[in-house]
Structure 1
Amino acid sequence: MTKKLTRALCMLMMVLGTAMLAKAQNIVISGTVTDKSTRAPLAGVSINVKGTTTGTASNQNGQFSLTTSSASATLVFSYVGYGTVERQVNGAATNLSVELEESTFLGQEVVISASRTPERILESPVSIERISAASVRDLPAPTFYDALANLKGVEMSAQSLTFKSVNTRGFNSNGNTRFNQFVDGMDNQAPGLNFSVGNIVGLSELDVDNVELLPGAASALYGAGGINGTLLMTSKNPYDYQGASFAFKTGINHVNDDNTGTQQFNQMDVRLAKAWNNKFGIKTTFSFLQAKDWGATDTRNFDRTARQLKGGDRNTDPNYDGVNIYGDEISQNMINVAQSVQNQTIAGILQATGGTLNIKNLMDQQLTPRATPADQARFIAGLPAALRPAVQNYLPFYVGLGNNLIPNQAVSRTGYAEQDLVDYDTKSLKTTTSLHYRFNDKLEAIGQVNWGTGTSVYTGTDRYSLRNFSIGQFKLELKGSDFFLRAYTTQERSGDAYNATILGTFINEAWKPSTTWFPQYIGNYIGAVAAGQPDAAAQQFARSQADAGRLIPGTPGFESAKIAITQRSIGPQNGAKFNDKTNLYHYEGMYNFSNLFNNVVEFQVGASYRNYFLHSDGTIFDDATRDITIEEYGAFGQIGKRMFNDKLKLTFAGRYDKSQNFEGRFTPRVTGVLTVAPNNNIRASYQTGYRNPTTQDQYIDLAVGGGATRLIGGLPELLSKYGLVTNPAVTSDSYRAFLASAASGAPNPAVLQTYTFDARGVRPESVQSYELGYKGLLGSKLLIDMYGYYSIYSDFISAVEIYQNPLATAVKFNVPVNLTDDVKTYGGAFGLDYVFGKYNLSGNVSYNKISDIPTNFINTFNTPEVRYNFGFGNREIVKNVGFNLQYRWQEKFTWNSTFGSGDVPAFGTLDGQISLKVPSINSTLKFGGSNLLNKYYSTSFGNPMVGAIYYTSITFNP
C-alpha cells in the first residue's frame, strides 16, 4: 500500500506541476535597501512578491535582485526592528532604492501555525509564541532551542546537554509524547523510541527562519498527538537567504564540578545557499558539537516498591538503591534466599539418593540447629563423601533458619555509578540538504534530507546511553500559494545505544551470578551474627565477603565486561544494546479554497496517511518472531468568516483520525477573535485534542530496572501473552501492604487486591480545552498577552504497576492503562513586552494546576505551579554593541515518572550575552553564558544537575 501511495503522490506532483507551469515572460527587479536615518545598507532584509512564494534577501551591501513572471508586482520589504514597506513595481526595474525606518511597533509579526494561514500574531485565535530569525541572533541562551524555556507557559526537562524535552500546560515527561514537534512540516518524533528528538536532528541555528509554538491542544489542525502543545520549526529557504554563513562557538562547562573539573566544548555551524534565476535553489547546512555531558549523580536512596525516597546509604541500608546507581535494583529477601537454598539442597540430595534421604530431617534428628562446631564436623564426617560439599554449604542456612538468626530484610547487590556506565562524551552532528525548483511565482517543488547522529543520554524508565544514535528524515514536497502535497519518511537507527541500568546488572552477573552472590552474602551474615557481631557490622562483613574480587570500574576486567555486554542485544543474548530500526512513512496534503471564494470566507481541507514499521528484533517491542506495522489516517476541514466590518472572526474546524488498533475519533475546534479597539483583540476558543497510544504503549515488551520490572504494551494480545487475564496480578498498594504484614511476622494474603484490566486494553486519550485570552498594544510600545485555560482529559493514559504471583516469586509489570475518571487541569499566563528607546523589557508568569485527581492515579502532572521569566536588552546600546539578559525561576514541585519520584527543588537561573558587530568583515562576536551564577539545578527527578556554560562565538554573514 505504501509503494502505491508513493507512486500516486509522485504522479500527482508531476501533473500539478505541469498544469500550473506558467509561460509568462520573466521580469527582473533589483535595487538597494538602506536605513533611512543612517543611509547605511541593510543586510538580510526580506523582500517578497506579495501573494506569491517569490522572494529574496538583501546581501551585505543591501543589494537585492529577484525574478517574477508578474507584469505588475507589489514588493514587501520587512526586517525585524524596522517598519514594513510595500512598493508597487510595474514591469522590470533596476536601481530601485528603498529606505526602511526603525520601528518600535510591536505585535506585527505574521504567524501561520495558529490557523494554517498567514495572520498577524495580534489576531491569532489561540495562544501562540514566536521566535524570528533576527531574534535568534540576540538570544542569551547557548542555542535557540534552549531559549524556548524563556517563552510564556513553556517548561523544559533536561536529560543531558543535547537532549531536552519541551512541554506546556502540565504532564511534562522526559520523552514527552503529549507534545508534537515539526521541522519543515516533518514530525521529528523517533517512531520507535517514542521521544521527540528535540534539536538532535533539527535546524542549525544559522538556518532558523522562525519558530512557532502553540500551547495546548491542536489536533483539529495537526492530527493525533500534541494534546499539550505543538512546536513548528521552519528553516530558511535558499531564495531569500543566499550566500555562505559560518559560526564557531567555544566555551567551558562543569565549572566547580568535583566529578569532572572544568571541561571544554566546541560547536561549528556552516550554511551554504544559492539560487539561480529565482528558479533552481540549493541549500546545505552542517553542524557539529562536541562536549562533556552533564552527569546524573544523585546517590539518594530510593524505595522502588513505595516509589519514594528513603533514608540511608550503602553503609547503613542493606537494601540501598541509589537513584543514579545501577545494578543495585536487584534485591532479595534474606529469609527467602535461605529457604531457597534449603529447599534446593533437600531436593538435590533426595534426587542423588533416589528419594531415600531428607537431609533436613536427618539433621533435625542428629544435629539440631544449636549444635556446636565440633558436633557439626562429626555429622559432616559421617556422611557419604559425595554429599559432604552440599551439606557443608547448607549448614549456615540450617543454623540461621533454625535459630532465627536471619532477619526479614531485603538485600540489594552493590551497584555502579552512572558515570562508570554511560558515555558522557557528547557528540552531535546534523546536516540538512534541500533542492528547490520554482515552476513559477506560485508553485515550488522541494526535495529535502535531514540527518543527524550523535551520542547523548536519555531518561526513560531507565537511563539510556544513546551512543551513535541516528535518525534521518527524507521529504518530497510540492507547494503552491494555496496548497501543499508532502511525503516523508523518518528512519530511526539506535546505533550502539544501550540501557545503563541493565548494563550495571549484567556486569554484576558476568562476574558473579546472583544465584551465587546472595547465598554467599546470607551465609557470611549468619556466620558473623553467630560469632556475636551486631546486625549492622554483620551486614557490612557479609557484603565485603560476597563482593570480594568484584569488577572495579577502570580495570581491564570491568571494561572488557562492559564492552561485551553493550555489544549484545537485549533479550536472549543477555545484553544491554537496543537494536531498533523502526521506520515511519507519512503522506499529507492540504488545499486552501479561500481565493476561490474571493476571501469572503476562509476554507481549507487536508488529509494524511501514516504507517509505522516497527523493527527492534525483540529488544524493545514484541517483534522477535513477527513483523509489526501500524496504519493511521485522518482528514480535516476548517472554515472561517469575518463579520461586523471585520470586528469579529469566527472559525470552525474539525478532524477525524483512525488508527488500525483503535476506534476513530473526531476532534472539533471553535475559535473567535473580537477586535475591541485597533490592535486590541480578545480571543476565545474551544479546542479538542486526541492522542493514540504510542508504539511502545501498544507493543513494548522490555525488562527494565535490571530485570526487576517488565514493561509491556496495553493491547489485549500483550496482556494475554503474560497471562494477566487468566492469572490476574495484584495492585502495588495491596502488595506493599502484604509485604508490611509479612515483615511483622504474620503474612496476610487477605490484603491483596486483584487488578482487573479493561477487556479493550489501552485506548486513545482525549482532551477538551477552553481558553479565553487578550492580546493588545497599549500605545505603540507596550504589548500585553494574557490567557486562562481549563482542560478536561478523558481516558487519560497512565500506567499501572502490578505484581503477579505475589505469594511465590512475584513478577512486577508496568502496563499502560486508561483512567476511568476524568483528569482536570487549569491555569493561565501573563506576558508583556515594553520598548523604550532602543531598550526592550519583557516578562511573563505562568500558573498551572491539576484538580480532581482520580483515585490510585500516579500524579504525573510534573509541573511547577508558578514560574516566571524576565528579559532586558538592547540591540545597540552603543554603536555595534548590544546585550541581552534573561532570568528564569520556577518553584519546587513533585516529579513522578516510571524512572522514579521525588521533589525537584526550586531554582532560578540567569543567562546573558554581549554582542559586537564587525561590519568590515560582516561578522558578529558574542560573549555569553547560561546559568551565569553557576548555581547547579535539575529540571526533573533522576536527571543531571545543570551548571553554567560560558562561551564566545563568531558568526560570519549572520
Structure 2
Amino acid sequence: MQSKHLQIFLLLLLVAVYKTAAQDAYLVSGRILDSVNSQLRNNATVQVKGTTIGAITDDAGNFQLKVAQKLPIELLISAIGYQSQTFLITAVGKEVNILLQPQAMVMDQVVVSASRVSESMMKTPVSIEKLDIRAIRQSAAPSFYDALENLKGVQMTTLSLGYKVPNTRGFSGTTNSRFLQMVDGVDNISPGIGAPVANAVGPTDLDIESVELIPGAASALYGLNAVNGISNMKTKSPFKYEGLSVYQKIGVNHIDDDLHSPTPLYETAVRYARVIGKRFAFKINADYMRGYDWIANNMRDQNPNANVSVGLTGANNPGADLINNYGDESSDRRTLTLDGKKYVVSRTGYAEKDLADYNLHNLKFDASLYYKLGKGAELSYTYRIGNVTNLYQRGNRIELDGLQIQQHVAELKGSNYFLKAYYTGENTGNSYNLRPLGENMDLAFKSNNQWYSDYSNAFLAATDNGSGVADAQAAARAAADNGRYQPGTQAFDDKKNELIHINNWDKGAALIMKTGFVHGEGQYDFSKYVSWIKLLAGFNYRDYIIHPDGNSYVNPESYTDSTKLNTIFHYYSYGGFAQATKTFFEEKLKVVASVRADKVQYFDPRINPRIALVYTVSQKHNFRISFQNGYRFPTLFEGFSYVDNGGVKRLGGLEVMSKYFGVFENSYVRTSQDAFIAAVNNDINKNGLTQTAAIEKNQHLLIKSNYNYIKPEHINSLEAGYKGILFGGRLFIDADYYFNVYKDFIGQVELTKPDKGTIGVDDSTVFYAYDKTKSTVYRMWTNSTGIVSNQGASLGLRYNLPRQYSVSANVSYAQLLHISAGDALIPAFNTPQWITNISLGNAQIFKNTGFNISWRWQSGFDWQSPLANGFIPAYDVVDAQINYAVPKIYTTFKLGASNLFNKKYYQYEGGPVIGGLYYFTVIFDDNFQRK
C-alpha cells in the first residue's frame, strides 16, 4: 500500500511540475548525421551559443530547440567520437541537416579523477575507465551501477539484489573499505559500516551523467583509504540538463527457483530540473524500488571433521556448523563426555531463510540548488537521503531494516578551485544480526547448560535401549529440542520481534549505530601563476562523531570511568597534497609528480608520493608508467568496534580500545586451539589416554599470539600501460600491468585468552585452552605479520563496425604472489584469476531501435571470510536488452534481462544464489528539451 501511495504521489508530482513556457519562441529543428556514412547520430549535443538553451538528439538523430533570441543564432554541436563544430541559423521554418566529421574515438573524452584536473583520457598517468551517458544507455545491465561490472578489471560481489560491492585488483570482501566511492566528489561511505551501501543513497539512473573508475591505488591524491581503487559518479547539472524525466521499471526474479516463487520488482524514479533566469537553477530526484531479494541457503558443513575420531561424519555429525544456519557456530559447541568418549556437539540453530526478511526496499531523494556568482564561480547545496532494507554481510549476515543515510553538501567552485564541506549521518533503524538472533532464539527456549544436560541424558537413554551411536545422537537432539520455537508459528514471530529490538548480542540481535562525520576539503590550481609548470594543491579534514550504543561502539574512557558510558567521542584525520605536471620534448613526455601527507588520530603522519610518466608517440599512441605508495588507516569499525556475541568478543585494534583487555599480550591463536582440542579428543577416543595425559602430550600445538595493536596498512604499487587507436580510429586498445606489495595488511584474527593465568608462566593455561568455558574468544582487528604481494594485467578492446555496430571485450588477470608462512591472519585475496566481458551492440539497428548483448565469465577461486571459507565455482552469464524510442513523446521502451538464461550462481561463500532478472522499463525523458 505504501508503494502505491508513493507511485500516485510521483504521478501527481509529474502533472504538477511539468509546464511548458513557449511564449514568444520559435522552433529550430533538424537532424545530425555522420558525414562519412550519412548515419543518424543520437546523443549529440546541440546548444545555442552564449545561452543555456540546448538539446540532445534522440535515437533517430533529431533535435528540437525553442528559442526566443533574434536571428541569426549560432549552434554549437558536439558528440563523442566527432569533431565539435558550429552551424549558423539565419532563418526558420524548415529542418536543417548537419554533418559531423568523425574523430578517433575516445581521443576527445575528458576525465577528471585520474589527476583531479581535466585531461584527455588518452593521456592519463594511470589506468582509468569511464561510463558516459551513451555507454550507460546502451548497456545491457539493469542500471548504471550494475553496468560497472562490465568495466575492465572490475569484480562485483553481490550481497543482495540491491547491494553490490565493486572492487579492483584483488583482496575483495563484502565490506570493501579499500575502495573509495564518491558522488560528485563526495564520499558516500556509511560511517559505521565503513564502506558504501552500494548505491542506496547515490544518483538515480535519470540523474547520472558519467562514472569514472580508477583501478588500483589512488591514495596519493585522494587519501581516504583509496588503495584498491576509486569511482566517482558525476550527476547532471540542471544548467545543462533541464526538464522532466520519469522512469518506471517492472521486473520479475526467482524464475524456476527452488527457494521461492516468481516475484515482481518495481522501481519508479522522477527527476525535475529548472533554470530560473541566468544564474539560479535547481533539481530534485526521487526513486523508490521494491522487490524480493536473492536467498542464501548454503547448508555445507564447515566443521565436518569434528567427530571423525568417533566415526560420525556427514549428516551424522552432531557438531556441524552449516554456513547459512545461525546458532551452531564454534561458540555454540561443547565437547561432551558420553560413555567414555568425547563428542563435539553444537546447538541446532536456525536457517537464514527462517530469520531474514527478504523483502527489499530502497527509497532515496535528493534536492540541489545552484547559483552562478559570475566569473565562472558557482555555489551549490545538495541534500541527499536514502532509506534501505536489504541483506548485508560483515562478519555475519545482517538484515539492514530501515538503514538511513543523510548528507548535506555545500560547495563553491570556480574554474581553478573548489571548496567543499559536507556532513554524513547514519541511523541503522531496526537492523539486526542474524547470527545472534539464531543463537538467542535457542537460548530463549533453553539455556546451554540445560540443553546439553538434556542432550546427554537422552543420548545415554537411547544407547541403553540399544540404539547405535548415530541414532542416539539424533534422538538426543530431538529430545533436547522438544518444544523450541518453530519457524512459521506466532510464538516464533513474537520472540524474534522481541530479540531484534534488544541491543546486546548476548541477549538479543539489534544492530544500532548512530554515527556521522563532518568533512571539509579544498583544491586550487596555481597553473595560471606559474607559466612553466602546472601546479595543483589541496587539503582535507574529517571528524567522525561516534554515539556509543554499548554494543557496536563504546567510549573507551568508560572502561575506567562509568560516567563516560554514553559520552560522544571523536576520530579525526587531516591531510593535504600537492601535484606538479610538466611536459617535455614538444609535449611528448608528460611527468606528473604528487605527494600527500596524512595525519590520523593515534598515528604518526604518513607520506604518500606518486610519480608518473606518459609518453605520447603520436596522438593515437600513449605509453604510461607510474609508481606510488599509499596508506590505508583503520576505519571506524576496525579501530573502535566493541561487540559481545555468543562467547566471542569483537574488539577494534586501536590501543586505546583494546589494551584494557590485554588480549594481544596473553592469548593463543584460535586455530591452534582448535587443532589442540581435536588432537586431545583423538588421543582420548582412539588411544585411550587420560584427559590430562592427552593435554600434556599435545600442548605444543598451542601457538601464543604475536599480534599487536593495529597500524596503518601500507602499499607500494607499480603500474604500466598503453592506450592506442588503430585502423583509422575504429579500434581502441587499453592495456595495463600492475604489481603491488602490501605490508601490515589489516584484517581480523581470532585469539583465545585464558580467564586466569599467564601463558608461558602458568601451566594451567593449557587446561583452560581445552575447556572453552574457562577461556574467552576474541576477534581482533590487527595487522598481518608478513609481506603480501600480488600482480595482474588487463586488456580492453573496442571496435566500431560498419552501420553503427560496435563490439567490445576486456579480460583481466589477477594473481596472489606471496603470503608469509605461519601468519594466522592470512589476507583473503577473494579474487578470480580471470574475468572476461564481451559485448555487441547497435544504437540504431532499425529506425529508433537499438540493442546490446553482453557475456561475462569469471574463473573459480578460493573465498575466505569470518563467516565462511570455500571455493567459488566459475560461472558465466548473458545480459541483453533491446530498446525502442518514440521521439515525438520523448519516451524510450526497454526490454532486458540480467542473466538471460537464468543460470544459478553465487559470488562468495555464504552469499545468495543469483538467478535471472527480467525487466521492462519505460523512460519519459524531456530532460534535454530546454525551454
The two structures have a TM-score, normalised by structure 1, of 0.84
- For residues 571-590 of structure 1, give each alpha carbon's deviation from its aligned partner in whole angstroms, at most 9, with x where no partner exists: 57x22111211011000000
Kindly provide the CA deviation profile for residues 96-120 of structure 1, in whole angstroms up to 9, marking residues without a partner as x.
Answer: 9793527473113111111111112
Distance 2:752 2:782 in 1: 15
1:458 to 386, 392, 409: 392
Q: Name the residue aligned to 2:896.
A: 928
Match of 1:35 in 2: 32
1:565 paired residue among 489, 499, 507: 499
The DSSP-based 3-state class of the residue aligned with 1:145 is helix
State percent identity of aligned pairs: 36
Distance 1:65 1:650 in 2: 47
Give the match for residue 752 of structure 1: 702
1:42 and 1:62 in contact (8 A); partners too: no
Is structure 2 residue 350 aligned with structure 1 residue 416? Answer: yes
1:456-495 pair list within 5 angstroms? 456-495=390-429
2:886 corresponding residue in structure 1:
918
- Report if the CA contact (8 A) 2:707-2:783 is conserved: no
Q: What's the counterpart of residue 608 of structure 1?
A: 540
Aligned residue identity for 2:543: N
Question: Equivalents in 2 of 1:111, 1:772: separation in Å?
Answer: 19
Superposition deviation, residue 725 in structure 1: 5.0
User: 1:549-948 alignment to 2 at 5 Å?
Assistant: 549-570=483-504, 574-598=507-531, 600-623=532-555, 624-704=565-645, 707-725=646-664, 728-743=666-681, 744-745=683-684, 746-747=694-695, 748-758=698-708, 761-778=709-726, 779-805=728-754, 806-808=769-771, 809=773, 810-837=775-802, 838-855=804-821, 856=823, 857-948=825-916
- What CA deviation, in whole Å up to 9, does each residue of 1:645-674 have, x standing for no partner? 111111111110110111111101111111
The Cα shift of 1:224 comes to: 2.8
Following the alignment from structure 2 to structure 1, what is the Cα–Cα distance between the partners of residues 719 and 47? Answer: 35
Q: Structure 2: which amino acid aligns with 1:813?
A: Y
What CA deviation, in whole Å up to 9, does each residue of 1:198-222 have, x standing for no partner?
1111010011110000000111111
Q: CA deviation at 1:558?
A: 0.1
CA distance in structure 2 between the partners assigned to 1:53 and 1:191 by the alignment: 41
- Gap change, CA 1:225 and 1:335, over 3 Å in 2: closer
Rg larger in structure: 1
User: Structure 1 residues 783 and 58 mapped into 2: Cα distance closer, same or farther (>3 Å)?
Assistant: closer
Match of 1:105 in 2: 104
Instruction: Specify the code of the residue in structure 2 equivalent to 1:667.
Output: N
CA contact (8 A) 1:304 1:900 kept: no
Instruction: After TM superposition, give the deviation of residue 481 of structure 1 in Å.
Output: 0.7
CA contact (8 A) 2:312 2:470 kept: no
Q: List gaps (5 residues or longer) in structure 1.
A: 1-27, 339-399
What is the TM-score normalised by the length of structure 2?
0.87
Distance in 1, Cα, partners of 2:914 & 2:739: 33
CA-CA distance at 1:525 after TM superposition: 0.8
- What's 1:347 paired with? none
Distance 1:633 1:48 in 2: 42
Contact 1:301 1:312 in 2 (8 A): no
Q: List structure 1 runs of 4+ shifted beyond 4 angstroms.
A: 28-33, 37-45, 47-50, 52-61, 63-68, 73-76, 93-98, 311-315, 330-336
Flag the 1:594–1:550 CA change in 2: closer, same or farther, 3 A.
same
Q: Distance in 1 between matches of 2:435 and 2:380?
A: 43
Q: Deviations over 1:440-490 (max 9, x none)?
A: 250101100111102010011110000111101110000111100000011
Moved more, 808-817 or 243-252: 808-817
Q: What residue number does 1:506 align with?
A: 440
Measured in 2, the distance between the counterparts of 1:787 and 1:178 equals 20
Structure 2 SS opposite 1:869: strand
Matches within 5 A, 1:33-432: 34-36=31-33, 45-46=44-45, 57-58=55-56, 62-64=63-65, 77-80=77-80, 83-87=82-86, 99-101=98-100, 103=102, 105-107=104-106, 108-303=108-303, 315-329=315-329, 336=336, 405-432=339-366
Counterpart of 2:479 in structure 1 is 545
Q: Distance in 1 between matches of 2:351 and 2:88?
A: 68
User: Contact (CA 8 Å) 1:888, 1:909: kept in 2 or not?
Assistant: yes
The Cα of 1:67 is off from its aligned counterpart by 12
- Partners of 1:305 and 1:189 in 2: CA distance: 41
Name the aligned partner's letter for residue 593 of structure 1: F
Does the aligned pair in 2 maintain the 1:41–1:62 contact within 8 Å?
Answer: no
2: CA distance between counterparts of 1:860 and 1:104? 45
Contact 1:635/1:657 (CA < 8 Å) preserved in 2? yes
Q: CA RMSD in A?
A: 3.0
Q: Please, which moves more after superposition, 254-263 or 53-62?
A: 53-62
Cα distance in 2, alignment partners of residues 807 and 516 from structure 1: 21
Deviates more, 1:918-927 or 1:861-870: 918-927
* Count of residue correspondences: 851
| C-alpha displacement of 1:819 | 2.2
C-alpha displacement of 1:244: 0.4
Q: Distance in 2 between matches of 1:790 and 1:637?
A: 25
Q: What is the letter of the counterpart of residue 709 of structure 1?
A: V
Structure 1 position 76, deviation (Å): 5.4
SS at match of 1:772: strand
One-letter identity of the residue aligned with 1:763: K
1:530 aligned to 445, 464, 470, which one?
A: 464
Residue number in structure 2 paired with 1:391:
none
The equivalent of 2:759 in structure 1 is none
Unmatched 5+ residue regions in structure 2?
1-24, 556-564, 685-693, 755-768, 927-931
8 Å contact from structure 1 (residues 33, 41) kept in 2: no
Asked if the contact 1:937/1:947 (under 8 Å) is kept, the reply is yes
The residue type paired with residue 781 of structure 2 is P
Residue 756 of structure 1 and its aligned partner are, at CA, apart by 3.0
Distance 1:687 1:483 in 2: 25
Shift of 1:504: 0.9
Instruction: State the secondary structure of the residue aligned to 2:195.
Output: coil
Distance 1:74 1:305 in 2: 78
Look up the match of 1:393.
none
Structure 1 window deviating more from structure 2 (906-915 vs 519-528): it is 519-528
SS in 2 for 1:582: strand
